[in-house]
Amino acid sequence: MKICIYGAGNIGCYLGGRLAAIGCDVQFIVRPQIRQQLQQYGLTVSDYRGYQHTIAANQLQLSDDPQVAAQADIIFVCVKSAATEYVAHELKTVLRNKTLIISFQNGLRNAEILKQILPEQTILAGMVPFNVAALGNGRFHQGTEGELYIKQNDALHELMNAFKTAGLELKLEPDMQAVQWAKLILNLNNAVNALSQLPLKQQLSIRAYRQCLAMAQMEALRLLKIAHIQPAQLTALPAQIVPVVLRLPDFIFNVVSKKMLAIDPLARSSMADDLMAGRTTEIDWINGEVVRLAEQLNLEAPINAKLIQLVKQAETSPLAWSAQALKQQLEMA
C-alpha cells in the first residue's frame, strides 16, 4: 500500500509520520520550507500521552513534484481549503489509474470539490478531530485526543489496520455530513483562539472567551436545527449541551470539564498558527460555512460574521483581543 501525503503541513506530516513510523510506504509532497526542516532534522511525531518517534531524514520520501502521486494507492489531501481546487487540477494531470483519495481537511465542501474535478477517482471525506502543533525542527505534536473519521468504503480495510497499528483509531462513518458539522462546531473556537493569541488550554480557562465560543456555537446550532441537520456526537457531551457547559463559571467549568481541558499546554489552533506565520486563514471555510447556511435559509449569522471580520482584520493587522473586549464585540453584532 503506497500512501501519498499531498500537502505535508501539520496534519499531513503527523498522519504520514505515524504511518511511516510503523513501516508504511509514505511519500510526502511538501512545501520547500518544511522540506528543508525535514531534510535537516528528520520527522518527529509525538502526542500528549507520551508517544514519540523520529524518522531519520534519509528514511523520508520527500518531493515537491505532484507526479509522485501517480504511483500511490491512497492519497491524503491535507492542503488548506483554499488550495483544494488547485490540487485537484494538478492531480487530474498526473493520475492515470483509479486512486483512492481522502480529504483530511477543515470545512465541509473539499471532498465535493475534488469529486467535481476528479469524477473518475474514489473521493472520500475524512475528519481529523485533534490538534497538531508544529514545534519546529521537524517536530509535529498531537495536543488533544480524538478518533479519525473517513466516509465508509469497502477499500479501507488495510488502511484501518495500518492506523490501528500506528496507535490511531479510525472510524468509518456513513454520514460524514453529521461528522463534519460536529467538527466544524468545535472548530468555531479556532477564531476565538486565534484572536486571543493564547494557547488553547489557557484560552478555554477564561470564561469570557468560552462565552464567545458559546455564542458562535449556539448560532450555528440554531441554524442546523432549522435546516434539519443533526450534528454527530464527537465528544462526551452532545453538541447542543457544549455551549451550556462553556458558559459555566470558571470554578464549576474546571470541575465538570476536565476532559475538555485535557489539552497539551503548548497546543494552539491551526488558525492561530496561520496568523502568527502571516498566512491567510481558513476562516471562510469554518465560520464562513455558518454564514453560508444562514444565507441559504434567508437568515443571518451575525456572531460568526463578526468573527470572520475580526480574523480578516487580524490577517493584515495582528491584534490580541482580551476576553471582555471580544465578548463585547460579539454582543454588539
Q: What are phi and psi of 77, to 5 degrees?
A: -90, 115
Instruction: Output the pLDDT for position 133.
Output: 86
CB 150 within 8 A of CB 121: no
- pLDDT, average across residues 141-166: 93
Q: How many CB atoms lie within 10 A of CB 66?
A: 16
**Cα torsion at 221, 223, 225, 230 (round to 10°)?**
-60
Query: What domains are there in the chain, each with its CATH number?
Result: 2-174 (3.40.50.720), 177-332 (1.10.1040.10)
Q: For residue range 196-239, what is the model confidence (pLDDT) as tens digits?
A: 999 998 999 999 999 999 999 999 999 999 999 999 998 888 89
Q: At what angle do helices 189-196 and 302-316 cross, to 10 degrees?
A: 40
Q: What is the pLDDT of residue 151?
A: 97
Query: Mapping DSSP to helix (H, G, I), strand (E, B) and coil, where does residue 50 land?
Result: coil
The pLDDT score that the predictor gives to residue 254 is 84
Count CB neighbours of 258 within 10 A. 9
pLDDT grade, residue 100 (50/70/90)?
very high
Average pLDDT, the chain: 94
CA gap 213, 111 in Å, rounded: 27
pLDDT value of position 31: 87
- Answer yes or no: is pLDDT of 277 > 90: no
Sign of CA dihedral 269, 130, 54, 36: negative
Q: What is the pLDDT of residue 235?
A: 83
Conformation bin of residue 293: beta by default, left when phi > 0, alpha when psi is -120 to 50: alpha
Model pLDDT, residue 171: 94
Cell of 313: 482584520
pLDDT of 99 higher than 80: yes
Please give the share of the chain, as a percent, with pLDDT higher than 90: 81
pLDDT of residue 2: 96
Res 295 pLDDT > 90: yes
The answer, yes or no, to whether residue 78 has pLDDT greater than 80, is yes
Residue range 312-326: mean pLDDT, rounded: 94
> Where is pLDDT greater, at 278 or 264?
278
SS3 label, residue 63: strand
- Residue-level pLDDT at 318: 84
pLDDT confidence bin for 312, thresholds 50/70/90: very high
Determine the pLDDT at residue 11.
95
Ranges of H-type helices in the chain: 10-20, 32-41, 84-94, 110-117, 157-165, 176-187, 189-196, 200-204, 207-226, 242-246, 250-256, 270-277, 287-296, 302-316, 323-331
pLDDT tens, residue by residue, 245-263: 999 999 898 887 776 666 7
pLDDT value at residue 236: 81
How crowded is the C-beta side of 267, counted as CA atoms within 13 Å? Answer: 22
pLDDT band, very low/low/confident/very high, at 58 (cuts 50, 70, 90):
very high
Cell matching residue 106: 477543515
Contacts of residue 71, Cβ cutoff 8 Å, sequence gap at least 6 = 2, 4, 27
Distance in angstroms (rounded) separating the CA atoms of residues 194 and 271: 6
pLDDT of residue 119: 96
In terms of Cα–Cα distance, which of 286, 288, 291, 311 is closest to 301? Answer: 291
* Predicted TM-score of the model (pTM): 0.91
The strand pair at 100-103 and 122-127 is best described as parallel
Q: Which of helix, strand or coil describes residue 26?
A: strand
CB–CB of 163/147 below 8 Å?
Answer: no
